[in-house]
Amino acid sequence: MDKKQVYQEKFEAQLAEWKAQIAEMQAKADKAQADAKLKYLDEVSKLQAKQDEAEVRMKEFTAAQGDAWKDLAKGVETAWDDLGDAMKNAWRRFL
């Protein structure tokens, strides 16, 4: 297994976990009272935007040929870090 594939598998696994967490937050938002629901839905929307950005970076990374993936890895890691931090902060607010 090459290094690119290891990165890709790591990112895909983390993204799947975050997608499930965002779906859980969406479900909580749907059950919340009106005021809390607006707050939760706004939070979920922000997370989904960061998730979309991370997915775009991942697609670019996956499509990279040769050693070009090495140049894209930093952008993927940055997007992942941003989404990870946002997820942690969102969970604190949802609890």
Q: What whole-number distance in Å separates Cα of residue 3 and Cα of residue 9?
A: 10
pLDDT: which is higher, 82 or 94: 82
Lookup: tokens for 7: 């990165």
Q: What whole-number distance in Å separates Cα of residue 6 and Cα of residue 30?
A: 36
Coil, helix or strand for 58?
A: helix
Q: What share of the chain is helix, strand, coil (3-state, %, to 5)?
A: 90, 0, 10
4-59 pLDDT, tens digit per residue, is: 889 889 889 998 999 999 998 888 888 888 777 888 888 889 899 988 988 898 88
Domain range annotation of the chain: 3-94
Lookup: tokens for 93: 């607010």
Judge whether 44 and 25 are in contact, CB under 8 Å: yes
pTM: 0.75
Q: Cβ neighbours of residue 7 under 8 Å, at least 6 residues apart?
A: 61, 69, 73, 76
